Amino acid sequence: MIPSGTNLAMARRLAAERLAAAGIEAAASEARILLRLATGLDPALPGAAAGTCLDPAQRDRIEALIARRLTREPVARIIGTGAFHGLDLALNAACLIPRDDTEALVAAALDLLPADAQARILDLGVGPGTVLLAILSERPEASGLGIDLSAQALAAARDNARALALADRAAFAEGRWTEGLDGPFDLIVSNPPYIPSADCDGLEPEVALHDPRLALDGGADGLDAYRAIFADAGRVLVPGGHVAVEIGIGQAPDVAGIARACRFRLTRLISDLSGIPRALVFAAG
Ligand SMILES: C[S@@+](CC[C@H](N)C(=O)[O-])C[C@H]1O[C@@H](n2cnc3c(N)ncnc32)[C@H](O)[C@@H]1O
């Protein structure tokens, strides 16, 4: 419990100690974010704020937020916002928290699209709009459709498109990959679930306990989504169109094989910031 008489700076120290004792690496910076959320004050700012004595309601709010973080709920989920490609994206419980790794997929897509491209983009498994909105924010003539099986994730995507003034170029629809879609699209992008089912429970607790299983579980070998996407992608693409997908560690040969069997040619492999192959680009035909 945070004792009465505690000021903001002391509360930040106490919070950081408790998070660190639970093995949370970025304890100091996360304590600062949680205190700012609970009090509206920034404990790192010099001057009056740090010495502000907390009232009981503020102490309760801080306790509640620390308790959530101690269950390994990620800070982005607690504050309800994730940063990606310079955009702030609102998140709800059905949304995967955007990962820096996914920048490789966005880079792959942007390389395919000239600055003035009037391309139509299809994002399969759009979640809160992460990939599609990042691309549209950089390509002002492009438009896109984001598909997801989760209506709740799509609600966040629509909110994000509005907040980023991209709603006139971004549409969203509930669906299962390309089922029932007509096209044609110039580019399909997808960061599908790609974790083998048996590995999901062993992921770090922030992911295993708090990311939606629908966003993680890629079936027995992690490749179910790629099979479904490539089997039908040619039908909704323009001739010579492209598919760019994010992949899990070590999945490049298998995903390339699935695509090849569906008459797609691998044209590029892009690694993430750790040097791990993370995005593959394929051309139709
Ligand atoms: C790994 S998350 C990617 C979210 C977001 N595009 C990103 O890159 O952060 C995969 C997304 O696919 C969605 N999904 C899972 N199965 C699906 C299916 N059969 N059809 C459409 N979307 C699906 C999930 O709801 C989730 O939003």
Query: Do the strands 143-148 and 237-246 form a parallel or antiparallel pair, or are they unpaired?
Result: unpaired
Same domain, 58 and 99: no
Q: Report how far ligand 1's centroid is from the alpha carbon of 153 (Å).
A: 9
Query: Helix crossing, 130-138 with 103-112: angle to 10°?
Result: 40
Q: Report how far ligand 1's centroid is from the alpha carbon of 91 (Å).
A: 14
- What pLDDT score does 44 carry? 75
Best residue among 96, 176, 229 to mutate for probing ligand 1, ranked by most atoms within 8 Å of CB: 96
Ligand 1 atom nearest to 179, measured from its CA: 20
Same domain, 64 and 98: no
Q: Please indicate, yes or no, if residue 1 is contained in any of the structural domains.
A: no
Q: Please indicate, yes or no, if residue 2 is contained in any of the structural domains.
A: no
Number of domains present in the structure of the chain:
2
Same domain, 66 and 109: no
The terminus-to-terminus CA distance of the chain in angstroms comes to: 64
Q: Report how far ligand 1's centroid is from the alpha carbon of 215 (Å).
A: 5
Ligand 1 atom nearest to 194, measured from its CA: 1
Q: Report how far ligand 1's centroid is from the alpha carbon of 177 (Å).
A: 9
Q: Is 254 exposed, middle or buried (0-12, 13-18, 19+ CB in 10 A)?
A: middle
Same domain, 139 and 246: yes
Q: Report how far ligand 1's centroid is from the alpha carbon of 193 (Å).
A: 6
At position 243, the amino acid (one-letter code) is V
Binding-site residues, ligand 1, Cβ < 6 A: 96, 98, 102, 124-127, 130-131, 147-150, 153, 176-177, 191-193, 214-215
Range of the domain at 20: 8-70
Same domain, 107 and 208: yes
- What pLDDT score does 48 carry? 66
Same domain, 106 and 219: yes
- What pLDDT score does 184 carry? 96
Q: Please indicate, yes or no, if residue 173 is contained in any of the structural domains.
A: yes
Ligand 1 atom nearest to 153, measured from its CA: 27
Long-range contacts of 258-262 (CB under 8 A, 24+ apart): 258/223, 258/226, 258/227, 258/230, 259/226, 259/230, 261/230, 262/230, 262/231, 262/233, 262/234
Between the alpha carbon of residue 36 and those of residues 4, 102, 137, 207, the distances in Å are: 18, 28, 29, 24
Q: Please indicate, yes or no, if residue 76 is contained in any of the structural domains.
A: no
Q: Report how far ligand 1's centroid is from the alpha carbon of 50 (Å).
A: 42
Q: Please indicate, yes or no, if residue 86 is contained in any of the structural domains.
A: no
Name the DSSP letter for residue 49: G
Q: Whose CA is closest to atom 12 on ligand 1? A: 125
Q: pLDDT tens per residue, the chain (285 residues)?
A: 888 888 888 999 999 999 999 999 999 999 999 999 999 888 777 666 777 888 999 999 999 999 999 999 999 999 999 999 999 999 999 999 999 999 999 999 999 999 999 999 999 999 999 999 999 999 999 999 999 999 999 999 999 999 999 999 999 999 999 999 998 999 999 999 999 999 999 999 999 999 999 999 999 999 999 999 999 999 999 999 999 999 999 999 999 999 999 999 999 999 998 999 999 999 997
Q: Is 182 exposed, middle or buried (0-12, 13-18, 19+ CB in 10 A)?
A: exposed
Same domain, 122 and 48: no
Between the alpha carbon of residue 46 and those of residues 4, 15, 49, the distances in Å are: 22, 18, 7
Q: Please indicate, yes or no, if residue 246 is contained in any of the structural domains.
A: yes
Same domain, 62 and 142: no
Best residue among 126, 132, 158, 200 to mutate for probing ligand 1, ranked by most atoms within 8 Å of CB: 126
Same domain, 127 and 195: yes
Q: Please indicate, yes or no, if residue 257 is contained in any of the structural domains.
A: yes
Same domain, 107 and 235: yes
Both tokens of 244, joined, read 């760019």
Helix (H, G, I), strand (E, B) or coil at 89: strand
CB 25 within 8 A of CB 13: no
Ligand 1 atom nearest to 95, measured from its CA: 27
Q: Sign of the CA dihedral 175, 178, 184, 188? A: positive
Identify the CATH number of the domain in which residue 123 sits. 3.40.50.150
Ligand 1 atom nearest to 84, measured from its CA: 9
Q: Whose CA is closest to atom 2 on ligand 1? A: 215
Same domain, 179 and 58: no
Best residue among 99, 122, 123, 148 to mutate for probing ligand 1, ranked by most atoms within 8 Å of CB: 148
Ligand 1 atom nearest to 97, measured from its CA: 9
Radius of gyration of the chain, Cα coordinates, nearest whole angstrom: 21
Q: Please indicate, yes or no, if residue 81 is contained in any of the structural domains.
A: no
Same domain, 145 and 212: yes
